[in-house]
Structure 1
Amino acid sequence: MGMDHEEEERRMASLLAARRALRAGVDKSRALSHALAREGSRLEEIQMRLPVMEAAVRPIRAPRKALAAAGPNIDRAVGPAAAVLKVFDAVHGLEPSLLVRAGVSEDLPGYLAVLAQLEEALHFLSDNCGVASQWLADIVAYLGERKLADPRFVSDLAEALEHLKNSSADLDGGLLTAALDMLEAEFRRLLAEHSSPLAMKEPGDSNPASVAPSRIPVAVVHKLSLILDRLAANGRLDHCSTAYADARGDTVSASLRALGLDYLKDSTEDAQALSPSVELFGRHLVFAVHHLLEAERKLCVAVFERRPEAASLCFAEIAARAGILDFLKFGRAVADARKDPIKLLRLLDVFDSLNKLRPDFNRLFGGKACVEIQSRTRELVKRVVDGAVEIFEELLVQVELQRDMPPPVDGGVPRLVSFVAKYCNQLLGEQYRSVLTQVITIHRSWRKEVFDDNMLVDAVLNIVKTLEVNFDTWSKAYEDVTLSYLFMMNIHWHFFKHLKGTKLGELLGDAWLREHEQYKDYYSAVFLRESWGTLAPLLSREGLILFSKGRATARDLVKQRFKSFNTNFDELYQKQSTWVISDRDLQQKTCHLVVQAIVPVYRSFMQNYGPLVEQDVSASKYVKYSAEDLDKMLNTLFLLKSGKPRRAGSFQIRHSNDKITSEMTGLYRSASTLK
């Protein structure tokens, strides 16, 4: 009995030792459970199951040796878990600093430092929590395989550990997500606070020079860059890019709208009506590129400092939202306008604006992100070049077509002449000559042909000389030969006066200009001789001296000559009162010559022979005009009546099928409207 009693005591002692070892392991597991419970709802579930596990292991009936061997294994599994719990405690300690919104705006570097600690802790947990969970799972499996604990307890504990391993991505309980949300909100706040549209200096002022571009302070740019780095490192680069493009794109767009860009959506097909808008287009496009988009590009590079590809994508979105494509659409509208000579000038304006900005376009929009802008720009340039060359090559044909059109019925200068003279002078002037040469050179290069400035000069001079050929044809169309003289006097003087001292006149040469001046003098002399020059001989004194002693006979001759003069004067005056001399100086000079050819002779005749008929009861029938009356009447001849319609011929354009399909109505407008 004594032996049995001692044996029983030894067995009880071993059982108690095993129980103490298991109790120690359970205590450590309970500590782990409590620590994990603080970090989330999933861990709370595990904590709730620990008492069940504790109760389940109490009635352990395993052999003492097996229980003794389990103790060290449990200790090794609990050690890593305890280290993980310490990190969980550290993560929990970061919550107050990361969830205070003021910390982001007031001390961004400090906030980012705390966030870095959280990221480091989560990185540690990500690397080690699974290992610790696996160690615990191994010991649970060990207990289950050796039947050292209640199977239900082992099963529940294994399930809880498996759940813990699968939930490692949310080990911080959403703390990192909350902190990143606050950073993103601060990113948007800083952009909104420093992204106000530019203000015009004066209401309604559309001059870009009056606008001072805003700048985001360097300190703010640095903050934005720091925030973007952290957000991008946590997979939120797209969020940042969208927010940035929204804020800056809207800012640039609003700044441009303040300049008044409604004209960019003008749908008219009239190139003349588009002329003021084309001038604004050039100035505003330069301003948009140099002062707005250039600054935005630099800002993108600074904010997305270590992410150049993201910077390019973001800038492309900003440029699109700012309306750069609207500028290109307007250029396309000009290219699609009805063809007329004015359209050529507007196309050259558009090309010049784009060409001056070509290096800037290549630099700003050269990346893959701006492929649509590149494509639209290339397409626009091609349409502008093709359209300009097509109109230019048609000009000579259009001048030739006018040869068969009737000249102005009043003998004035056809608007075609005024238009072509001024138009060709513009093409060879400082503003358009080099641009047109470049456009045609580009177009010819596409066809593997050569073109240079000399060829342009020759082509323009050929248009002018072709127009000269029309003069004789037009003059022969008049039934009244005297009117044809007036017409030729008008047209040659117009060429001389309006081309002398111009670039076109210089290229045509002094001899060419003097020739037109001489033609003017010639036709002026012929006109006077064949019309007003025929009146003075009607007041001849011939025969009146022979009858000086026969008063009645002399009176009859004087009456006859007054009557003949009046009849011819009235006929000439009535007919020529509808004729015009387009140039005011030439009109006054011609009227002066007419007066000098008639009035002195008439005054002398009146003084010498007027008394013979003035005492006659029918004197007013013969002495119809005084010398002063004639002077006044003749000085008002050939004046261009206001509002009087002018014949200019229909300047038409041929399309590729050689059929004349549309009038080039721009020709009918006054040449003074050209810009």
Structure 2
Amino acid sequence: MKSLCFSSRTSSFSISRQSISPSRSSLSSTPRHRSMIETTIDAAATIIMKWDAETSAYAGVTSLFYESKREAMQYIKSVNELQEIMHILVSHQDSDPEKLTQAQHLMQIAMKRLQKEFYQILSMNRADLDPESISTRSSRTSTRTSTSDYDDDGSPDDEIRTIGDSISEVEDVSSMAMSDLKLIAECMIASGYTKECVKIYKTIRKSIIDEGIYKLGIEKLSSSQVNKMEWDVLDLKIKNWLQAEKISMRTLFSGERILCDHVFATSDSIKESCFAEISKEGATLLFGFPEIVAKTRKSPMEKTFRVLAMYTAISEDWQEIETIFAFQSASAVRLQALNSLVRLSESLLSLLTDLESTIQKDSSKTMVPGGGLHYLTMNTMNYLTLLADYGNILTDIISDWPPPARSSVPESFFNSLASDDSPAPAISVRITWLILVLLCKLDGKSKHYKDVSLSYLFLANNLQHVLSRVRTSNLLYILGEEWIAKHEAKVRQFAANYERLAWGKVLDSLPENPTAPMNPGEAKECFRKFNISFEDAYFKQSSSVVPDPKLRDEIKVSIGTKLVAVYREFHDTHKSTVGDESNARSIVRFSPEDVGNYLSDLFFVKISSESSSISSSASSHHRRHMRSPMRV
């Protein structure tokens, strides 16, 4: 520290040292050197006593560093020279004790003055030395060096104007204050007043960190307090914490570390102890909150995404946490952040297990009208698509989580996931498993439909919804195209089974060869069977729904292609066979266009109770033609 404090700061001081140092051994024995000691002490006494608040009213109400930057630099230089002389006087037994006593007295007065200046700069520049202003610097070394900024060769005011050309006014004031603090700290530390300097710094800067943490809404909470909170209240606190963590790491702690490193650049041990004591309490409080949340018994589905968000916030800032709190004395902060990550990951695994259990335990037997979407499908897929947005984080968390037990799932499940050469990632296994659990549950619910055709439509609709959510989310990258292709084939199979069971009798009512010759009686009977079967099928399926537009069009096109084409051939061939026009009108109830129009009205989701009736789903043109099924 001595060598740092006594390094050459100005050309005049350098000459003084050169004239003193070579002859230190004979300093007190020559009149010339005794005169030099007296001159140095007298020069120091002049400026030190000028700024002694006990003897000068002016000095008591004025700040040295704010009043005259040049004089402040001269004050520091004089104190450093005085300290050099004191070392020389102490090292020689034949030195003048009165001079040493005078120098010591002056040093005490000077240190008292510098303590006051140090306190004033810290207190009066709270706004300019706020962590946000400091943290905007491009690096921790961008501030000016101490006394070299105020060489006699240039004006301090000129230096300030030069800096102001490249940085903002706030940064200018901040930079000046930081340089002044560093200058004073170096001088006090070299003079043996480290304790006094550090105490002032810790007291003021810790209050700023504590105030910042308080303003960010971070408060000390116990597990019992958090457990008693309603979820809405806790959710707001988590959202607030996410914002507070970002601000704290970007500005509050990073800015404070920059300031501390700069002011106490000459001593690693001092800046370590200062920063640790200033920041440890607030940082531990900040990173302790996620651990408390992770331990709460509340586990609504929404909690999963708050847990993931908190885990993401800490993990993304982990490198910064390790850098800012790198000191051994700040290891408690790193440990607390790590503990929170561990607890959050454990909580997430528990929540995923709860999701699987919720799906498996769903015991509702209420059938969805029209074979539409089950709430379990929609809720589960909403959940999984949101989960997929945290794919990278999930991969880290569940990488070591054991896969589902083989005894509880079909062997084909594992076979479809991976080969021996390329095992599937843990996240793919887990998401695929959760969807499989959902599909198995839906398969069981489909059996509650008395109309078997509706059970297949129900399965097709719900699996189509699953696929749609996978295609339009990050689940696509987790599950892959092969998984999608496999389940698209299942949707087509379910849809085909629905068509066969719901519309098979209508197709069977038409002859295998629709253009084969028929007598009038045979033609009438065939038209009669078609009328009855088509009306039965239409009325049964009029309440069926297919929410997905793509699947809806595919099913209608498939039914229309098979039914309308065959009926058109039969209709055009045998309409005239049944008799004259008046007779034919009572027997040929539907034209091919009528059949196509009726089919086009099917499968739309009804938006009101009234629209569930046939009359509101069919157009007025259709109502004029559709009659009740004939029972013959």
In the alignment, what sits opposite 1:524? Answer: 495
CA shift for structure 1 position 403 = 7.2
**Cα distance in 2 for residues equivalent to 1:177 and 1:361:** 37
SS for the counterpart of 2:604 is coil
| Residue 535 of structure 1 pairs with residue 497 of structure 2 | no
CA distance in 2, matches of 1:172, 1:295: 33
Please tell me the residue identity of whatever aligns with 2:74. G
Residue 298 of structure 2 corresponds to residue 298 of structure 1: no
> Structure 1 residue 300: deviation in Å?
0.2
Which residue, 266, 269, 277 being the options, matches 2:231?
269
- 2:184 counterpart letter in structure 1: I
Distance 1:412 1:613, change over 3 A: farther
Corresponding letter in the other structure for 1:111: Y
The one-letter amino acid paired with 1:388 is L
1:111 matches 2:60: no
| 2:398 and 2:427 in contact (8 A); partners too | yes
User: 1:201-600 residue pairs with structure 2 within 5 A?
Assistant: 220-229=177-186, 233-234=192-193, 235-246=196-207, 269=231, 277=239, 281=242, 285=245, 288-289=248-249, 293-306=253-266, 308-316=268-276, 319=279, 325-326=285-286, 328-329=288-289, 332-333=292-293, 336=296, 338-341=298-301, 343-367=303-327, 370=330, 373-374=333-334, 376-402=336-362, 406=366, 408-417=368-377, 430-438=391-399, 440=401, 457-491=428-462, 493=464, 516-538=487-509, 545-547=518-520, 558=524, 565-566=530-531, 568-600=533-565
Structure 1 residue 527: deviation in Å? 2.3
Q: Helix, strand or coil for the counterpart of 1:637? A: coil
What is the CA-CA distance between 1:475 and the residue it aligns to?
Answer: 2.8
1:236–1:500 distance in 2 versus 1, CA, 3 Å = closer
Does the 8 Å contact 1:344/1:391 carry over to 2?
A: yes
> How many pairs are equivalent?
488
Q: Deviations over 1:6-54 (max 9, x none)?
A: xxxxxxxxxxxxxxxxxxxxxxxxxxxxxxxxxxxxxxxxxxxxxxxxx
CA offset at residue 587 of structure 1?
0.8
Residues 512, 333 of structure 1: CA spacing in aligned structure 2 closer, same or farther, 3 A cutoff? closer
SS at match of 1:531: helix
Structure 1 residues 304 and 635 mapped into 2: Cα distance closer, same or farther (>3 Å)? Answer: same
* 1:221 CA drift (Å): 2.8
Report the equivalent of 1:638.
603
What letter is aligned with 1:237?
V
Alignment match, 1:16: none
Q: Distance in 1 between matches of 2:580 and 2:236?
A: 68
Check 1:97–1:504 CA distance in 2 against 1; reply closer, same or farther (3 A cut): closer
Aligned amino acid, residue 486 of structure 1 = L
8 Å CA contact retained: 2:63, 2:117: no
Q: Who is 2:618 aligned against?
A: none
* Preserved contact between residue 385 and residue 440 of structure 1 (Cα < 8 Å): no
Q: CA, structure 1 residues 218+508, in 2 after alignment: closer, same or farther (shift >3 Å)?
A: closer
In structure 1, the residue matched to 2:141 is none
Q: Secondary structure at the match of 1:294?
A: helix
**Which residue identity does 1:329 align to in structure 2?**
F
Letter in 1 for 2:119: E
**Which segments of 5 or more consecutive residues in structure 1 lack a partner in the other structure?**
1-86, 125-130, 133-168, 202-211, 442-451, 549-553, 645-675
Q: What is the rounded CA distance, in whole Å, between the counterparts of 2:111 and 2:135 in structure 1?
A: 44
Partner Cα distance (2:515, 2:109) in 1: 127
Shift of residue 628 of structure 1? 3.6
Offset, 1:389: 2.0
Letter of the structure 2 residue corresponding to residue 225 of structure 1: K
Alpha-carbon distance, 1:565 to partner: 4.8
The equivalent position to 2:116 in structure 1, one of 173, 181, 187, is: 181
1:615 partnered with 2:569: no
Q: CA deviation at 1:570?
A: 4.0
- 1:96 corresponding residue in structure 2: 50
CA distance in 2, matches of 1:423, 1:296: 40
Secondary structure of residue in 2 paired with 1:410:
helix
CA distance in structure 2 between the aligned counterparts of 1:194 and 1:497, rounded to whole angstroms: 53
Shift of 1:591: 1.0
- Superposed CA deviations along residues 503-556 of structure 1, whole A, max 9, x for unmatched, are 9789878887665444444443332232223224546689994348xxxxx9xx
Q: Are the aligned partners of 1:493 and 1:520 in contact in 2 as well (CA < 8 Å)?
A: yes
Residue 351 to residue 631, structure 1, CA distance change in 2 (3 Å): same
* Distance change in 2, residues 1:408/1:318 (3 Å): farther
Aligned sequence identity (%):
19
Quick one: which amino acid aligns to residue 615 of structure 1?
A: S
- How far apart are residue 407 of structure 1 and its match? 5.2
Q: How far apart, CA to CA, are the structure 1 residues paired with 2:43 and 2:268? A: 39
Whether contact under 8 Å (1:301, 1:311) holds in the other structure is yes
- Conservation of the 8 A alpha-carbon contact between 2:294 and 2:307: yes
Measure the CA separation in 1 of the matches of 2:608 and 2:276.
Answer: 54
The offset of 1:227, in angstroms, is 1.9
Following superposition, the deviation at residue 387 of structure 1 comes to 0.8
Aligned letter for 2:575?
Answer: Y
Question: Which residue of structure 2 aligns with residue 38 of structure 1?
Answer: none
1:65-84 deviations in Å (ceiling 9; x for gaps): xxxxxxxxxxxxxxxxxxxx
Normalising by structure 2, what TM-score?
A: 0.58
Cα pair 1:231 1:240 within 8 Å, conserved: no
CA contact (8 A) 1:183 1:231 kept: no
Residues in 1 aligned to 2:482 and 2:118: alpha-carbon distance in whole angstroms: 80
Q: Against the structure 1 CA distance between its residues 342 and 198, is the aligned structure 2 distance closer, same or farther, given a 3 Å change threshold?
A: same
AA of the residue aligned to 1:633: Y
* CA root-mean-square deviation: 5.8
Which amino acid letter does the alignment assign opposite residue 377 of structure 1? A
Report the CA distance shift for 1:615/1:275 in structure 2 as closer, same or farther (over 3 A).
farther
AA of the residue aligned to 2:398: T
CA contact (8 A) 1:595 1:634 kept: yes
Alpha-carbon distance in 2 for matches of 1:392, 1:509: 21
- Structure 2 vs 1, CA of residues 297 and 507 (structure 1 numbering), >3 Å: closer, same or farther? closer
CA contact (8 A) 2:254 2:324 kept: yes
Contact 1:331 1:350 in 2 (8 A): no
CA contact (8 A) 2:132 2:251 kept: no
| Partner AA of 2:313 in structure 1 | S
Q: Within 5 A, what are the aligned runs for 1:36-115?
A: 94-98=48-52, 99=56, 100=59, 101=62, 103-104=64-65, 105-107=68-70, 108-114=72-78
- Which structure has the greater CA radius of gyration? 1
